[in-house]
Every structure is written in structure tokens, then in C-alpha cells.
Amino acid sequence: MKLYIKYMVSLRCKMLVKEVLNNLDIQYTTVSLGEVEVNDDLTKLQHDQIRIALLNAGLELMDDKKSMLIEKIKNVIIEMIHYSDEVPKINFSVYLSEKLNYDYTYLSNLFSETEGTTVEHFILLHKIERVKELIIYDELNLTEIAAKLHYSSVAHLSNQFKKITGLTPSFFKMLKLKKRSTLENL
């Protein structure tokens, strides 16, 4: 039996869900972003216990099919951008369609009408967050970051970064270095 969980977007959330299931002595086979595969059908009491425990942890058990699909879209995007070593080289629209087995137009329209933003803007926001992480880690230069996230050029990456954050990547990096030196002087 599959359970779908809203707001489950990080590895920490996965650990939290595993802890909830273990505390309730519910056997599961897999816990992935946004969904859990439990071994047996749940009783109404178990379902309610999971719902309450997840709500207390800031997560939400979902029953609505459209909400589940929206969360799947978000989780596929988050996993693709933040947790994959390599962002797929195919278009995001093709990737989402193949991954979720739905027509991209349907996914896109559903996402836009439910979330009030486009899938493309959601992807862009997450790509910029990933760029920020990579700049802060300071392991890759901008050219390598642009290549890793499949930007056509460093200029394209810089333009999108500035449009979203109001800062250039170089200025963002300088702020990070300035904060670090300030902390070191304490």
C-alpha cells in the first residue's frame, strides 16, 4: 500500500517519516520523497495515528489524487535538481512526462492552477537555490556550475541568478566570503 506525504522534500523528512513508522510499529519497504510503501493495509486507527504524527512533524498525509500528483511533480523536480549528481540532459518537460507517465501539458496546467506558478518557474527557483549551494560549497567555479545544471552559458546562469536574487553570482560569493571572515574575527 502506498501513502503519499505532502511537504516531504528532504532527506531529513525521510528520516522523520521512518522514525514515525518505526514508533508506530508499521512495517514498510521503501520511503522516498513524497511517498511510502507499507507492507500491509493499514487499519483506520493506524492511518489516523500516522496522520496525527505527521501533522505534529509538519508533514501531511494526502488522500486527494490531484494533490498527490502535484507533490509527485515537486518531488521529481527537487530530487532531479538537488539530489542527482547530474541533471538530465533532456528537456524537463520530457523528463517529468516520462517519470510520471502523464502528458506534460496536463501536468503543467494542473500545477499552474493549483500552485499559482508555472512548473518552469518552480524549476528555475530550485535551480537557483542549487546554484547558491554550489557557490557556498566553493568546490566548482561558475563555468562548472553552469555546465552541471545545463545552462547554455555562464552569462545565462548569471542573468537568471540576478533576476531571481537581485545579486550577481560573484557578489553572492563575495557576501559569503565576507560573512566567513567576519565570523573568523569573533
Residue 177's pLDDT is 67
Residue 7's pLDDT is 85
Q: In what order do the strands lie in the sheet with 28-32?
A: 28-32, 35-38, 2-6, 60-62
**Fold of the domain built from segment(s) 1-63:** Alpha-Beta Plaits (3.30.70)
Residue 163's pLDDT is 95
CA dist list (Å): 152 to 91, 148, 158, 159: 13, 11, 11, 12
The residue type of 29 is: T
Give residues with Cβ within 8 angstroms of 183, minimum separation 6.
Answer: none
Does 65-186 match 1-63 at the fold level?
no
Residue 184's pLDDT is 46
CB–CB of 47/77 below 8 Å? no
Give the Cα separation of 169 and 116 in Å (integer).
28
Domain ranges of the chain: 1-63, 65-186
Residue 186's pLDDT is 43
**What secondary structure letter does DSSP report for 26?**
-
The pLDDT profile of the chain, 186 residues, written as one tens digit per residue, is 888 888 888 888 999 999 999 999 999 999 988 889 999 888 999 999 999 999 999 998 887 788 889 989 999 999 888 887 777 777 889 999 999 999 999 999 999 998 899 999 999 999 999 999 999 888 889 999 998 888 999 999 999 999 999 999 989 988 876 665 444 444
What would be the CATH architecture of the domain defined by 65-186?
Orthogonal Bundle (1.10)
Q: Give pTM, 2 decimals.
A: 0.71
